Amino acid sequence: MKIGIYGFGAVGRLASRLALERGHEIVGVVDIDERIVGKDAGEILGVGRLGVEVTRDAEELADADVVLHATGSYLDRVFDQIASVVRMGVHVVSTCETLSYPYYRYPVLALRLDEIARAYGAVVIGTGINPGYLLDSLVVVLAASVPTVRRVRALRSLDAARRREPFRKKIGVGEDPRLVEEKLARGEITGHVGYAESVYLVALAGDLSLTRVVEHQEAVPAESDVESAGIRVSKGMNRGIRGYGAGFVGDREVVRIEFEAYVGAPEYEEIEIEGQEYSVKWRSTGTPGDLGTVTVALNVAERVPYMMPGLRLMTDMLPFKIRFAGG
């Protein structure tokens, strides 16, 4: 396939390397970073010249079959970027978290993007490791073996010290916990984005009409000095965040998504499917975030040429529906 890259930061570069390893061709790279604009993408990647210069011009992606987009978490901020590619009739797979289920936060933009994609014969889909896979698609796959689902709970825990510095910054590692919570409230830092999106994807797979969805995030103060992977946090300072998204039907919590990312946290994912007939519990040893994200995105990109045009969700790719109790 001919792959375009929109956003050539850490995720975009990792996606490029994986695409090249799989035998795909990189035909265009777009970024606004003055330090790399005009440079050969291959030389930046350390794989030799590709003959593709990094540019600010999205039209350089017109020859791509699929564009891997990785520039931001919020659809309202990246809508024009995605729409500009779709209007060239090029498919887009984006790591924008809120695009994984955009009808929650951005219903008007979601409908508009769907209209544009249909008009130009392109597929648009938001995906990644979380949301997109671990706490939603995988939950649905595991729940598919349970005849009647009463409740699902999915948790991801990761050691923030083993992640990139930009990730640690967006969860306020090493700062005053009170300041971190103020920044989260103001939107100055994001913490994790996608609790509600994962909740809605799971609900959608079971045709479950939720009454309400609640999201919450909080700082995790260090109770004593802690160190992991060369990152040290003093007692009383912030180790990271923990949070959740919960979907309710009436007063009953039916879907619960939890995320913990702090220095020294254990690395694992755990999914519990509480069934009417029996229950299932699954636990992993942890999943690398960036590499997992680009792997899921590229796997999806290899499928989108065979999908119907329009705004698509990861649930469209799953062969399963699930049944909730009372549904």
What is the per-residue pLDDT across 135-188, written as a single tens digit (0 to 9) for each? 999 999 999 999 999 999 999 999 999 999 999 999 999 999 999 999 999 999
* CA dist list (Å): 242 to 160, 183, 209: 11, 15, 26
Q: What is the mean pLDDT of the chain?
A: 97
Q: Where are the domains of the chain?
A: 2-128+294-317, 137-286
Which regions of 43-115 does DSSP assign to beta strands (E)?
54-55, 66-69, 91-94
* CA dist list (Å): 135 to 61, 128, 208, 240: 32, 11, 17, 19
> Quick one: the chain helix, strand, coil %, rounded to 5?
35, 30, 40
Cα–Cα nearest to 215, from 238, 240, 242, 179: 242
CA 7-12-15 angle, to 5 degrees, is 150
Residue-wise pLDDT for 74-114, tens only, equals 999 999 999 999 999 999 999 999 999 999 999 999 999 99
pLDDT at 326: 84
Sign of the Cα pseudo-torsion (23, 61, 73, 45, in order): positive
At 188 the three-state DSSP class reads coil
Q: How many CB atoms lie within 10 A of CB 18?
A: 18
29 Cβ neighbours under 8 A, 6+ residues apart = 4, 5, 8, 12, 16, 41, 52, 53, 54, 55, 60
Dmax (CA) for the chain in angstroms is 60
% residues pLDDT > 90 (the chain): 99
51, with CB counted inside 10 A (0-12, 13-18, 19+), is: exposed
pLDDT at 327 over 80: no
Assign domain 2-128+294-317 to its CATH architecture.
Answer: 3-Layer(aba) Sandwich (3.40)
pLDDT at 25 over 90: yes
Does residue 131 have a cis peptide bond before it, meaning omega lies within 30 degrees of 0?
A: yes
pLDDT at 219: 98
pLDDT tier, 50 (very low <50, low <70, confident <90, very high otherwise): very high
